[in-house]
Amino acid sequence: MGKSFPELGLEQQDCLAMSWIESVLYFAGLPYGPGHSIDVLLDRGLQEKVFYNGKSDFVEEPISQIGLEGIWERVLEEENMYMIMDPLGGRMSEISTAEIPFPYRRGDLDLGVNEEGNQSYSTARIWGRKYFNGNFKRLAQVKGVVDPTNFFRSEQSIPPLVGMEEEIVQLALV
């Protein structure tokens, strides 16, 4: 960082090196690193709710120095915030939407969530088809094979498309 971005003035003590799974623990506010187990992620009991507002977007051109200064000014205005910048590369637009179900291709998406307690395919497909393009049904079918009980679920997770013959028939009639 010192060689590539000397203007940031970063020093070793400003940075944390960790594995991806440790970063999951870190951003969840859980203990991580030597002496701590990732088994805490398996604890599905009730935990204190932590709410935050997050947005994702992709830049199509390099951010100018003036733009970066504006970002830092905004970051410093907030009392408790963080920003994650993932260098995913500039080739996403070259990959067909049918090849991989990666939704982040053009602009910021905020298309909705599953209703609380309702994780049905027919409800989720309203936002899921917009979010995952033509890949939503295929992803729901895969979820039905690998997680038919929908153990891994959230407000924006893909519900399993399995054992829902009546619902599939209803979808065919629509």
26 as an active site residue: the answer is no
Distance (Å, whole) CA 114 – CA 96: 27
Which residue, among 46, 41, 11, 42, has the nearest Cα to 29 in the 3D structure? 41
Q: Which of 82, 104, 121, 131 is catalytic?
A: 104
Residues recognised as catalytic: 104
